[in-house]
Every structure is written in C-alpha cells, then in structure tokens.
A and B are shown apart, each in its own frame.
Chain A
Amino acid sequence: MIMMSDELLRIEELSVRFAGSSRNALEKISLQIGRGERVGLIGESGSGKSLTALTIMGLLADNAKCRGSIRWQGRELLGLRDAEYSRLRGEEISMVFQEPMTALDPTMRTGRQVAEVLRLHERAPVGKARPRVLEMLADVGITDPQRVADSFPHQLSGGQRQRVLIAMALINTPDLLICDEPTTALDVTVQARVLELLRSGLDRAGSALLFISHDLAVVSQMVDRIAVIYQGRIVEAGTRSQVLENPHHPYTAGLIATADLANVAPGARLPVLDDFWKRAADGQR
C-alpha cells in the first residue's frame, strides 16, 4: 500500500470522449503512482495508452471531454488553467515521446533546446545554463557533449536524439517522467543502452516513471507494477510478478506469449493473441 503522503498521481474513473464519437476512448481508467515508483502501461496501437499520457499532461485537443479525476499531489488536474499546467509540465511532470526527430526543433541547436527547458523553469540566464546542459548530456551517456550541444537534431543519430530528449526531460529533476514508446524507433543495441541510461537517470533524479509501450519485454525490464490497457479500459493491474506469472485476463496471457519469442522453438508456429481469446471462450463454454 502507498501511504497518502507518498502518493504522486491518482487517476480515478477517468473517461475521455471525442466530439462526434459514440464511445469513450478511455473508459473509467484508474491508476495510482507513488513517489519514485515505476509503473508500466502496456497495450496495442489504439488501446488508449498514449491518450492516457496526453490526458495527464493536459495536452488533449478541445474536442475531447474528460470525466473523472486526475489528482497530482492532492491537486485536481482536470480543468486546470493552461498557465498553471505549463508550470507543472517540464518541472514536476515531463515526457519523452517516441519519435525524437519530431519532438526536437529541427532549426535549433540541441544544446539551446535543452537549456531552454532549464531556463523556463529555473529562470537561469543563458550563459549559466551551458555547464549544466553539458553535464546533463554527459549524464545520459553522450561522450562528446560539446559537439552534440552545438549540433542540429538532423546531425545526430536516432539514439543520440533520444538521449537528448531524456536529458531535457530529466534536467529539472521532475517528480514524474512519462515515457511513451521511448525506444520503439531504435535498434535493439541502442535500445538496450537508452533503457540503461534511463534507469540510471531516474535513480539520480529520484523520479517516478510511467512507461508506456506495446512491448511487454521492454516494459518488464523497467517497472515494478504493470497495468494492461485494452480498448480504452484497464483490464488487469498488479505487481510485475503478479501480472506476468499469473495473468487473469486472456489478453494479458496473449501479450505475454507474443512477447516471449525466446521460449518458442525455432521454426515452430508463434503464439498469437487469437489463441488466447479462443482458449478463454472455450473455457467458458
């Protein structure tokens, strides 16, 4: 159990519906994150996992209607004014997106982009920010921070760009970091390095983590608790070992089987989600 004082985020019965749609895109989602806790949200494309992140960050378009509650350190976020939300974002809650090329400004040198996050929230003058930016870039495993800081995003590799984003997200030591598919666009070798850096960065900053992905193997490496989202609903949640060793929902069992390629004999047919839906339906009959 999380003590009240240790609770950072409490989402209760959150529903989101877009204008013109007949069904809720999120349906009564509940999720808690304690201080320093690492929680995974796993689901497929279209399940509502990215929408959950955008709702927490207050980044939904005007045609989305929210019901329920998102409490951040005891304070209600739904209905918060934009100005107050901006102060929260980047300082208390920050986010790393999947596509580092679109998340970075292509016309600005990366060092300045990192410095801007720092200045916006700490009001540090430009000259003062530089040493801190270089230190932060080194912290996320960039071996030549001077050069990277003076480069434009297109001059960097995908892995370097994602490190820059992680540096930006952690530079203000946020209470919560939300990562939405942070390594999906990367090679496995680069992914392994970025995940390691993310872990050590979180350790240093003491931040809690909401890690969103379709890849259960990756999620299982990063978090202590897992929530499974399917068609806008959380169908299962618990500690990593509860969810992965003893899944209750057929969808969870299917996700586990498809994520565990190493357990399938080479050349054998790979298990697919449909197998588990069918098995569940047969069991009920």
Chain B
Amino acid sequence: MASAEPIYRVQDLVRVFSHGPQPVIAVDHVSFEIPAGQRLGIVGESGSGKSTLIRMMAGLRRPSSGDIVFAGQSIVGRRESELSWLRRGVQLVFQDPRSSLDPRMKVADIIAEPLRSRIWQGTKRPDPFSRVNELMAQVGLDPGDRNRYPHQFSGGQRQRIAIARALAPNPRVLIADEAVSALDVSVRAQVLNLFADLVADHGLTLVFVSHDLSVVRHVCDAVLVMQAGHIVEAGPVDQVYSDPREPYTRQLLASVPRLRRD
C-alpha cells in the first residue's frame, strides 16, 4: 500500500468563511492521505469542520488555500466542465434521506440520476433500466418497487435508495456524511452492514463521517478526529478507540451512551 499513489492527497487545506462579523476558519491547515481501498472515518462534533472538509474533497466547495489531489490530479481551481472524472469517481450519501431524495421522483429515476448527467459526455454510459435493477438488488431493495416514490419507503429503505444512487456511476470513493445518524438504532446496524458489504464487494474507498466514534469503529480501519478545524488525532481505528491519546478523543468516547443493564 505504501508505495501506491494514494487516491486522495489533502495538503495544507484551509477554508475560511467570512460572511459573519468575524471570519470563521472552518478547516485550518489540514493535511492527510487516503490510500485506495481504505475505510477512513472522520469524527468530530458539529462545527468541527468535517462536513466542510468532505464537501471540498467532493468538489462542492472551494478551498481558501491548499490543495486536494484526487487520483493523481488536483481538483482545485478547475471549472465544472473539467471535473467529470471527480463527479463519476466520488459520490456522497447524506444524513437525512427525507431531504436528500426528491419526493416527486420515482425511485428508479432518483437512482438513475447520476447516469443522466453531463459527466458521461464522451464515455460509455450504462443502460439506466438494467443498472437500476442491479443497484436495487445490491442494496437489498426489491427492483419491483422501482416505480414507487420515496415516501412509500421506511427511513432505512430510503437510505438504501440514496446509497444505490451513489453507487450508480460506479464510483471509486463513497463519502458518507452522518449517513446513519438520522436512523433508528435498530435500523442503523442494517445500513452499517450494507456499507461494509458494498465496500468489500466493490473495492471502494470509504470516507465515513460521524459524530459517533463507536459507529466509525465498525466500518472503518483508520480514523481522523477533528476539533475546531484541526485534526487532533489520527491512527488505526482500533488504537484510537482503545487507547486514545488526546483528551478530546477520550471525551468523545466517554460521551457515547452505553447500554446499562443493572
């Protein structure tokens, strides 16, 4: 792994928001690499900068300074028309499938949406009909439900729809932003198992963002802990979980509610 080119290289990345009375440094000189095939967790509280960081990695937000290299090429400073390799290669799954799925679209159209995009100009585009059936089966949905609407599905099923849509263009990287945080605890396990299976079956690189370190431990092999725009701790997930070095990481771990049986 060490000799291979990492799929992501983030160098000295900064993002400042200057809309308010005082500028806010959301991401403050962050550097790290993601080897291809790694399952990387990014953990932190609201406001730690984790969502801003992944939005920049997905090319949805411009950095103030620094560089992001995806699959060997910098994504910074490019026009949208020059980013199709990034759009195909990196897909996102968001927290709340109720707001990330268009309620007026049929499930088949939602899942096929990335296949209709301009990003396919000049390349062979998969056939949407058969691809949707294949994707629905992969995420544990019945392809017979392809003409139904999002509200006819449960929360866990809606998140499966969002995952199927993310897989549609055959991405190399899947970025999940609090993808199980809005789900019932009992449904969370099913969706986490699905992430684990899909990442293994498709050889995906996973970036899994969460405020809950115990969830990250189950799907990731490495973790970055963010606080106030900085990476305060990084390492193999087992080591960070069982032997955290930073007081902040210890505090995050101590906050996870544990089942009390007595």
Contacts and interface: CB of A to CB of B under 8 A. Distances in A.
Contacts of B155: 45
B261 A244 contact: yes
Given A187-B45, A261-B218, A218 B257 contact: yes
A266 B237 contact: yes
* Number of chain A interface residues as a range: 35 or more
A241 interface: yes
A221 interface: yes
A146 interface: no
A189 B251 contact: yes
Interface string B179-216: 00000111111101100100000000000000111110
B192 A254 contact: no
Contacts of B254: 192
Interface residues of B, number: 35
A216 B188 CA distance: 13
A258 B185 contact: yes
A259 B255 contact: no
Interface string B130-152: 00000000000000000000000
B46 interface: yes
A192 B255 contact: yes
Nearest to A193: B255
B65 interface: no
Given A45-B154, A240-B261, A188 B193 contact: no
Contacts of B256: 188, 262
Contact of A258 (B189, B251, B255): B189
A41 to B, nearest CB: 14
A271 interface: yes
Contacts of A272: 186, 189-190, 193
A214 B184 contact: yes
Nearest to A157: B46
A157 B260 CA distance: 29
B252 A269 contact: no
A44 B186 contact: yes
Interface string B33-66: 0000000000001100000000000000000000
7 contacts: A45-B184, A187-B45, A188-B213, A214-B185, A215-B185, A261-B215, A269-B196
Interface of A: 44-46, 157-158, 187-192, 195, 214-218, 220-221, 240-241, 244-245, 254-256, 258-262, 264, 266-267, 269-273
Interface of B: 45-46, 154-155, 184-190, 192-193, 196, 211-215, 217-218, 237-238, 241, 251-252, 254-262
Given A245-B261, A266-B238, 20 more contacts: A46-B154, A187-B46, A188-B212, A188-B255, A189-B211, A191-B257, A192-B255, A215-B185, A217-B257, A240-B260, A240-B261, A254-B186, A258-B188, A259-B186, A261-B218, A266-B217, A266-B237, A267-B218, A270-B193, A273-B190
